[in-house]
Amino acid sequence: MKVPAVDYSAVFQALPGAAALVTPELVYADANAEFLHLRGLTREQVVGRFVPDDHPEKDPAEPLLLRVLASLRQAAGTGERSIVALQQYDTQDPDQPGVWHERYFNMTNIPVFGPDGRVTMLLHRVEDVTELIRAREVALTLQEAMLPAHRPVGRHPSAVRYRPAAEALNVAGDWYDLVDLPGDRVAVAVGDVVGHGLPAAGVMGQLRSALTAASLAAEGPARALEVLGLYARTVDGAENTTVATAFIDWETRTITYSSAGHPPPGLLQRDGTVEFLDRATDPPLAARPEHAPRIQAVAAFREGAVLVLYTDGLIERRGEDIDTGLARLAGSLARHKADDPEALADAVLDDLLPPGGATDDTALVIVGL
């Protein structure tokens, strides 16, 4: 079979996304129709132009332009793709001169190699993610509306934190809850729905409400998760949700806990020792072919201890074993063993979340015991 010749120039022009070819010296060599439309320029106005001169209305020291130039130089120098993620930029409407719109872009600079293995060109790809950002804002608003406002639980101090991923285009389905139980008891839970965006936020709201109701009626966390698991089988998108829940009893000074595939709660004793409650872990919700009873375990605590529940955004990092993240959390808790859960929550987030923000949403609940 004869392989047809490929007109790569035509392919480049037909790409659905905006793309330009840039030399290692940062001069435009070509630009496709989408790129020209986005910039509101003709091919003659772009090709042969030095990239910094492509933005005459911008200050040469404008932060976005500096980031784009640094990314292009990095891709040219290292031979590895470089990303300028989620940048806000005001663009002129190509169909309405003088009308400007706030847009959001991801930019990726990809090296193209010649026969000698050297970088001969850079593919500068611009992805308009404005609609995704707007959908994210709607999902965040919905998620915040469905998460409970922080309030005192019984007479015991607590702190809650929710941090959306810094640069993710969609929010995740993380949630937390604290529920007053009869007697001097409290149920605390965190969960993480698989998926992102409005669907995950909707599933999160349904599961959080169902677990609150189950915790008020069940005799323990295992039974509450069994009920939640049955409910999850009826909700599209709820399968494989992870949840950890604990019933704290101050009269007996015990924590009864159960986990559906979720990272283990941490128990910080007053002397700084940290124990991860990992003796009652079952598969995530609706992950088994058939419904089955769940297990629970009991841990004792002393006055002045702290219970910490969280979602995986706090501890998991790409390419890293989860035990490394757990050790990092234990070290932070031991270092900051504060009487005030609010201060401890802030210190833990400062220690564990990367400077630019986590790549996954993070929920954190701390209860003083």
CA terminus-to-terminus distance, the chain: 75
- In order of their start, the domains of the chain are 8-128 (3.30.450.20), 133-368 (3.60.40.10)
Q: Are 266 and 329 in contact (CB under 8 A)?
A: yes
d(CA 253, CA 299): 9
The Cβ of residue 130 has, within 10 Å, a number of other Cβ atoms equal to 15
d(CA 232, CA 223): 14
Question: Which range has the worst mean pLDDT, 87-91, 164-168, 270-274, 313-317?
Answer: 164-168
pLDDT tens digits for range 124-170:
888 877 766 666 666 566 556 555 666 666 678 889 888 876 555 45
pLDDT tens digits for range 333-368:
999 987 789 999 999 999 998 765 556 788 899 999
Angle between helix 341-352 and helix 322-335 axes, rounded to 10 deg: 140
